């Protein structure tokens, strides 16, 4: 099995690249942001709880997202592996993911970390906000907060995977196809 953590700040292109990776390598895409937005659209209690955090660009409590991803992993059968997008976002989430996958006898293979300059992130997010209608992509102060939360709470996750020899930084600047090519090269080395 090939289990990938696709990592990077908001606006790094994780969702776009994950779509291309799942098509090429036949993986199951688990995006916590997408799952939460679906819960919100369906007006479930989880979605309504999540909205309070998403509207401010803050992270949901670890337990909430860990339970959510745990149940998605449990429900998935017979795949080549998973690509985790937007998860784990804290070291506690990374530790919990290792335990969940250990139960399935299928560890994380590699962590691909998309590295993008801050100015470019803000530009991409504001551009996406105009087409997607995502409210957290339309307000520059929420965007600034999401990047700050990423720098403070999420970047330590790199060290977690570095210690396991699984951290692979990838240049996330350039065209979608250029970045995809860089990602595939590293994935192919891990196969």
Rule CB under 6 A: which residues touch ligand AMP? 10, 32-33, 36, 53-54, 57-60, 65, 86-87, 89, 93, 146
Known active-site residue 14:
yes
Known active-site residue 168:
no
- The answer to whether the beta carbons of residues 14 and 8 sit under 8 Å apart is yes
Residue of minimal CB distance from ligand AMP? 33
Distance CA 17, CA 86 (A): 12
Closest to ligand AMP by CB, 55 vs 181, is: 55
Q: How far apart are CB 78 and ligand AMP at their closest, in Å?
A: 25
Q: How far apart are CB 108 and ligand AMP at their closest, in Å?
A: 15
- The residue annotated as part of the active site, out of 37, 124, 146, 168, is 146
Q: How far apart are CB 97 and ligand AMP at their closest, in Å?
A: 10
Q: Which of 84, 79, 75, 140 is nearest to 111 (CA)?
A: 84
Residues that are catalytic: 14, 89, 128, 134, 146
């Amino acid at each position: 099995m090939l289990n990938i953590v696709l990592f990077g700040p908001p606006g790094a292109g994780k969702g776009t690249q994950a779509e291309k990776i799942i098509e090429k390598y036949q993986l199951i895409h688990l995006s916590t942001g997408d799952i939460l937005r679906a819960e919100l659209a369906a007006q479930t209690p989880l979605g309504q709880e999540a909205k309070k955090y998403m509207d401010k660009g803050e992270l949901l409590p670890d337990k909430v997202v860990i339970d959510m991803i745990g149940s998605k992993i449990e429900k998935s059968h017979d795949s080549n592996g998973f690509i985790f997008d937007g998860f784990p976002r804290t070291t506690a989430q990374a530790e919990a993911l290792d335990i969940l996958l250990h139960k399935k006898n299928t560890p994380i293979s590699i962590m691909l970390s998309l590295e993008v300059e801050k100015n470019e992130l803000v530009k991409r997010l504001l551009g996406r906000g105009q087409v997607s209608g995502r409210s957290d992509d339309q307000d520059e102060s929420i965007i600034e907060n999401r990047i700050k939360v990423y720098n403070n709470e999420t970047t330590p996750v790199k060290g977690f995977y570095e210690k396991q020899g699984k951290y692979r930084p990838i240049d996330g600047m350039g065209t979608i196809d250029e970045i995809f090519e860089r990602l595939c090269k590293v994935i192919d080395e891990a196969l």
